[in-house]
Each structure stands twice: as C-alpha cells, then as structure tokens.
Amino acid sequence: METQRSMSKLNILVVDDARFIRERVTSMVREAFPDFSVMAVENGTEATRAMQQKRFDLILCDWEMPEMSGLEVLQWTRSQDDYKQTPFLMVTSRGEREYVLKAIQAGVNDYLGKPFTREQLVQKMVKALDKRQQLSPEQQARAAAMLEADKKATPAEASAPAKMRSKPKGLAQLRNSEQTFRCAIKDLNLREVKVVIKNEGAFPQVLEQVVVDIEQLSGDSVARINGFITSIQATEQKLDAAYVDVNVFFMDDDPDKLAHLSKYIASVR
C-alpha cells in the first residue's frame, strides 16, 4: 500500500447498503472536492475488501447494514495497522447515546446523523481532514465557498416540531436535516408511507432525504427507515389548509427493518 497521499488527490470510501444514499453522498463529495477519488460499496464485506486493495484517506460508513454493521467495519478498520489513524465518519439514523458511545469506544472520529445536508457532510469532512492537514489551501477555499453558498441558498426553518393528529394506523416522526415533524400514518406498505403533518408554516421538501421513525401503538420504536419525499399535498383546497399529506418512498433494503415493518403493517391492517 502507498504510505503517502497527494494533498490534491485523496481517496474517499463510501459504505451504505441504500443505493440512493450511496449515490447522493458520492455526488456531494465530488461536488465539494472534484479532485478527490470516490469509491462507493454497498456493504461492510465489500468495504474491508476494498481497503485491503487500496489505501483510503477517509471512510464514510453507514451503521445499519446487513451481514456486517458499520460498527464492525469500524472495529476491523482500527485493527489494521494502515488504518488505525484514518478518519472514519459514522453516517446513521441512530442517534441514541448508547450507539454514539459504542462508536466512540471503537475509535470513530465523528458522527453524522441521517438525514443530512451537503453543508453538514462537507463540514464534517473538512474537520476530519484538516486535523491531519490533508487539505490543500485551494481545497479549503473551495469547501468554504460552497458552504457559504449553501447557507445563502437555504432559508432558516422554524425550530419547533409540528404537532400531529391521531390516526388509526399509528404514529411516526419524520426527520429531515433540520427538523423533526410529529405525524400520523395514513397509509403504509413495504415501499412507501403516507403521513399527515400539521401546517405550521415549515415543511420538508420534495426529493429531500428523510428518516421515518415508526412507532408501535404502545409508543415503542419499530424502525428507522431511510427514504426521500416524493410528494407533498394539502389535505384541502384552501390556502390555509390545516394539514398536509407527505409521501415518502423507502430506500432501505435491510432485511431486519423490512421484517419489523411487515409485522407492524400486519398489526394495523
């Protein structure tokens, strides 16, 4: 393996079992750092194989994957002499304290919660690579300019979460990179969900990446499903409609999540 890397040509490894997220992260990295080389793989086994064949300078890895979890990839990475100090960013919809602590104990450098914006991803990458002085002044300037442009293009969203109204098919939380919406489930299958949120002036956007936390009727969490918004529509033809329907298409192919989802669907049908 090579032991020295060119500051202008770093190798980035993206690991995620959801194709949409792999493509999205790859696109974000290439837009921010066009001189980087980006490789994307769909599971931990492919990730460890790739790391044995090529030297990577930063790893962006999902936590919840079949066969080999992101935590197991991290533990394997830190057991390798060539990767003991390599920046490793865990990208996941799990934000509970116990999961964060496990990742820290295993040697993670930083934690990026799904869903996330390009600004948040680039900030984490710059922070990780700057610590090892792996970014050239030109790369730092380009990243800073892109972050500033993103701030100007994205208006600030209201911080208060929207309230929901009860529906017989259950409750959920819809999370984008800035806000959490309490919502009620109107319809649900293994590929998509329709939820309703109260109109309080702040909405997610069409094609925006989100996480849907579906809850059991008892209040226990069932699954955190990654997806993207396919449509948003007012529930009535009024400018001040009180509620809005949001359709989310699921991107997760995790067998465990799909199994939980199947049981939940059967329980509310």
pLDDT tens sequence across 81-129: 999 999 999 988 766 667 777 888 888 888 888 878 888 899 889 888 8
Domain range list for the chain: 11-153, 171-268
Q: Work out the angle between the directed axes of helices 19-32 and 137-153 (0-180°, nearest 10).
A: 120
- With beta carbons less than 8 A apart as the criterion, state whether 87 and 78 touch: no
Is CATH 3.40.50.300 the classification given to domain 11-153? no
Is CATH 2.30.30.90 the classification given to domain 171-268? no
Beta bridge partners of 108: none
Could you read off the pLDDT of 65-94 as tens digits, one per residue?
Answer: 888 999 999 999 999 999 999 999 998 876
- With beta carbons less than 8 A apart as the criterion, state whether 57 and 86 touch: yes
- pLDDT average per 10 residues of sequence, the chain (269 residues): 54 92 90 92 95 95 89 95 93 72 85 83 87 61 60 43 45 88 87 89 89 69 83 88 91 77 73
